[in-house]
């Protein structure tokens, strides 16, 4: 069953209040149980005390019974009544019955005891008389000459106001120390809870004062053992936030630097075009401005793709089975004009069985587009770019092969870094983000990216993306 006050929500109690409640509630329950047991014990003790008083009065009445002229006579000694005085206005009843003779003395309306008692035996019990609860004691009193026929039954009874008052008095004397203890715990418990939660308050203050750009961690050794897992989790979160802030700052700085150059070039081209009076020069400036805008647009698109892939800024998309051949055909159609402009032979090689992988179609299409775009841009005019798809035992394999200059083996890991470009390609348009985006997308769908030489030692580059099986 859901407990909102424990799991959070609009009705959540503070941790201090919860600890205070869990401190008092069990103690209150124990004291309540102890009080109930104490009252039962006090009532039993009051029964015992009053039974002894009733027995004493019955014996006094029994000692006053004698035989005169062959008949039994019973008188009520004053001490027998005084023995039962409790100060609570209790009514006292008594009755003396002899076998074969009936009532000797006492209240005839009071019920006769019908049970069997041995000589000197007594029995106490509760009953009601005239609508009042009574405590009754029946006692078998022997009378000279001690024959069975000379045993009389003496009943002495009293109402229970005094007995109840005695039970309450005994109960209160046993309960009031527990009540005082509960009040002391309630008064001091709040301070105990505050002292116990002082480390939590301290950690909370440290987290609240922590600056976003700071990588300083909270001291684990100063925290109680129970809070150390929480402090470690907070420190891990601080480290991840610090890394994110650092990467974000570096990303923004690099993005601004990459955008500054084409925007400056665009501004120069537009300025030249506006100032020139020759239509041919205006046309060249307009064409150059168009190319700069295309470069900026592609750079911004790559920046957004990398940011959303790396930091999950976009809403998550559910992966599904994707046919790579369909995506590859779409990409080649889109880039066919760029390849045709450079006289590059752009081709697709797929086996009889089209490989299928598990992933997000939009991201996988971006992965293929970046690989093919890079290959076209860095392949000289008249070269070749081939996209091939293969089925492997463990999944599918996508390869993009070009006849460009290739990448030296010692640089193949660095080219996956953002904005990193080879020195020999600095004169060509590019942002250094293509392979970074490819690796991020590949990692998101469990694929691996490798850069290899072309088979046979031919100049160029082979990029292989190995996907796991979609089943």
Domains along the chain with CATH numbers: 40-168 (3.30.450), 225-310 (1.10.287.130), 318-468 (3.30.565.10)
CB–CB of 463/450 below 8 Å? yes
Q: What is the DSSP letter of 8?
A: -
- Using CA atoms of 213, 216, 220, 223 in order, give the dihedral in degrees to the nearest 10: -70
Please enumerate in sequence order all residues whose Cβ is within 8 A of that of 296, keeping only pairs 6 or more positions apart, or say none: 259, 262, 263, 266
The residue whose two tokens read 């069975």 is 148
The two tokens of residue 52 are 């002894």
pLDDT (tens digit, 0 to 9) for every residue of the chain, 471 residues total? 444 444 444 457 777 788 888 888 888 888 889 889 999 999 999 999 989 988 998 888 888 887 666 677 777 787 777 777 766 778 888 888 887 778 888 888 899 998 888 888 999 999 999 889 999 999 998 876 655 567 889 899 999 888 888 899 989 988 888 888 888 888 888 788 788 778 888 878 888 777 766 777 878 877 778 788 888 888 888 888 887 777 677 667 666 655 665 677 677 777 877 777 777 777 877 777 776 676 677 667 666 666 666 554 444 566 788 888 888 898 898 888 888 888 999 999 886 666 788 888 888 888 888 889 888 888 889 999 999 988 877 788 889 999 988 888 888 888 887 767 776 665 566 666 778 778 888 887 888 888 988 887 788 899 999 988 665
Please enumerate in sequence order all residues whose Cβ is within 8 A of that of 59, keeping only pairs 6 or more positions apart, or say none: 139, 141
> Whole-prediction pTM value?
0.48
User: Minimal CA–CA distance to 220: which of 241, 240, 239?
Assistant: 239
CB–CB of 122/55 below 8 Å? yes
Residue 386 to residue 368: CA distance in whole angstroms:
12
Which of 235-243's residues contact partners 24+ apart within 8 Å by CB, and which partners?
Answer: 238/210, 239/215, 241/212, 242/213, 242/214, 242/215
Give me the pLDDT at residue 2, please: 45
Give me the pLDDT at residue 427, please: 53
Please enumerate in sequence order all residues whose Cβ is within 8 A of that of 409, keeping only pairs 6 or more positions apart, or say none: none
CB–CB of 443/359 below 8 Å? no
Residue 366 to residue 332: CA distance in whole angstroms:
12
Residue 69 to residue 393: CA distance in whole angstroms:
126
Residue 418 to residue 303: CA distance in whole angstroms:
10
Residue 30 to residue 181: CA distance in whole angstroms:
12
The two tokens of residue 345 are 């032979």
Whether cis (ω within 30° of 0) applies to the bond prior to 145 is yes
Give me the pLDDT at residue 305, please: 64
Give me the pLDDT at residue 83, please: 73
The two tokens of residue 286 are 């307009």
Neighbouring C-alpha atoms within 13 Å toward the C-beta of 254: 19
Residue 285 burial (CB count, 10 A): 19
SS3 52: helix
The residue whose two tokens read 């116990």 is 196
Residue 471 to residue 468: CA distance in whole angstroms:
9
The two tokens of residue 278 are 């020759």
> Which value, in Å, is the radius of gyration of the alpha carbons in the chain?
51
The two tokens of residue 464 are 């292989």
């Amino acid at each position: 069953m859901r407990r909102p006050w424990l799991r959070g929500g609009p009705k959540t109690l503070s941790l201090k209040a919860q600890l205070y409640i869990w401190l008092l509630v069990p103690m209150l329950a124990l004291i309540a149980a102890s009080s109930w047991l104490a009252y039962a014990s006090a009532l039993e003790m009051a029964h015992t005390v009053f039974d002894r008083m009733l027995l004493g009065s019955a014996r006094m009445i029994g000692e006053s019974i004698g035989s005169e002229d062959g008949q039994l006579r019973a008188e009520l000694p004053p001490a027998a009544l005084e023995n039962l005085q409790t100060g609570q206005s209790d009514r006292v009843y008594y009755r003396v019955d002899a076998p074969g003779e009936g009532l000797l003395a006492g209240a005839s309306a009071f019920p006769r005891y019908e049970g069997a008692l041995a000589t000197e035996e007594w029995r106490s019990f509760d009953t009601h008389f005239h609508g009042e609860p009574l405590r009754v004691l029946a006692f078998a009193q022997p009378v000279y000459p001690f024959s069975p026929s000379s045993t009389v039954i003496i009943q002495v009874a009293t109402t229970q106001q005094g007995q109840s008052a005695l039970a309450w008095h005994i109960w209160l004397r046993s309960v009031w120390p527990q009540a005082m203890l509960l009040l002391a715990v309630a008064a001091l418990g709040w301070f105990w809870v505050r002292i116990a939660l002082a480390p939590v308050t301290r950690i909370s203050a440290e987290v609240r004062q922590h600056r976003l750009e700071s990588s300083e961690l909270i001291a684990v050794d100063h925290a109680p053992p129970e809070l150390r897992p929480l402090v470690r989790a907070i420190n891990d979160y601080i480290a991840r936030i610090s890394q994110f802030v650092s990467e974000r700052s570096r990303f923004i700085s690099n993005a601004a630097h990459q955008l500054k150059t084409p925007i400056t070039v665009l501004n120069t081209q537009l300025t030249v075009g506006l100032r020139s009076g020759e239509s041919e020069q205006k046309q060249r400036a307009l064409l150059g401005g168009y190319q700069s805008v295309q470069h900026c647009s592609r750079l911004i698109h790559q920046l957004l793709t990398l940011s959303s892939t790396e930091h999950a800024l976009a809403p998550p998309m559910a992966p599904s089975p994707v046919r790579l051949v369909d995506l590859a055909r779409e990409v080649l159609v889109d880039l066919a004009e760029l390849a045709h402009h450079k006289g590059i032979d752009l081709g697709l090689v797929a086996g009889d069985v089209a490989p299928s992988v598990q992933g997000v179609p939009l991201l996988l299409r971006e992965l293929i587009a970046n690989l093919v775009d890079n290959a076209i841009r860095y392949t000289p005019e008249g070269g070749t770019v081939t996209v091939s798809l293969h089925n492997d035992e463990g999944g599918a394999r996508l390869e993009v092969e070009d006849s460009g200059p290739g990448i030296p083996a010692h640089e193949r890991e660095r080219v996956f870094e953002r904005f990193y470009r080879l020195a020999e390609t600095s004169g060509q348009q590019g942002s250094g983000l293509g392979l970074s985006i490819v690796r991020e997308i590949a990692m998101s769908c469990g694929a691996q990216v490798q850069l290899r030489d072309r088979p046979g030692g031919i100049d160029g580059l082979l990029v292989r993306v190995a996907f796991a099986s979609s089943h």
